């Protein structure tokens, strides 16, 4: 679509204000484009499991995530396997599971990191993984 036609369709659809608003700087209590409150911490954890785990062992490993739901301050907790996206140099689908946890603020994630439920569950279930990587993001 040509740029001029695109701009006409955006204006006709009433999206001009939305597009301009999304470019504004974040305000206190504002929400990102996907509705997550600014300042929310996204805790992404990638797990590489040991080779040769049985189906029962992998199911047991998933109990780790259910234990983590009990830690105070956890707002949401989701997990899954790599999506079957097209291979590209920037895509790393070598992990077996990704855990996504949200926290409202730094105090909550700091509590989570050292909470007895988290440390005990990590110790109990670490027998299943060979590598873990964490990436934390503050939503702006």
For the chain, the farthest-separated pair of C-alpha atoms sits apart, in whole angstroms, at: 59
pLDDT of 114 strictly over 80: yes
Mean pLDDT of the chain: 84
Q: What is the pLDDT of residues 14-60, one digit of tens each?
A: 443 333 334 444 455 565 555 788 999 999 999 999 999 999 999 99
pLDDT of 83 strictly over 60: yes
Specify whether the CB–CB gap between 79 and 68 falls below 8 A.
Answer: no
| pLDDT score for 23 | 42
pTM: 0.75
Looking at per-residue pLDDT, the higher value among 6 and 112 belongs to 112
Compute φ and ψ for 126, nearest 5 degrees.
Answer: -65, -15
| pLDDT score for 35 | 73
Domains observed in the chain: 1-28 (no CATH), 31-138 (3.30.70.100)
């Amino acid at each position: 679509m040509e740029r001029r036609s695109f701009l006409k369709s955006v204006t006709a659809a009433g999206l001009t204000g939305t597009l301009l608003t999304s470019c504004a700087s974040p305000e206190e209590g504002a929400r990102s484009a996907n509705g997550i409150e600014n300042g929310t911490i996204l805790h992404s954890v990638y797990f590489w499991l040991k080779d040769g785990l049985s189906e029962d062992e992998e199911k047991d490993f998933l109990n780790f995530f259910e234990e983590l739901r009990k830690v105070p301050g956890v707002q949401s907790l989701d997990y899954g396997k790599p999506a079957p996206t097209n291979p590209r140099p920037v895509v790393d689908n070598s992990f077996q599971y990704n855990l996504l946890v949200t926290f409202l603020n730094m105090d909550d994630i700091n509590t989570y990191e050292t909470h007895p439920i988290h440390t005990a569950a990590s110790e109990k279930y670490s027998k299943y993984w060979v590598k873990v990587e964490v990436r934390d993001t503050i939503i702006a």
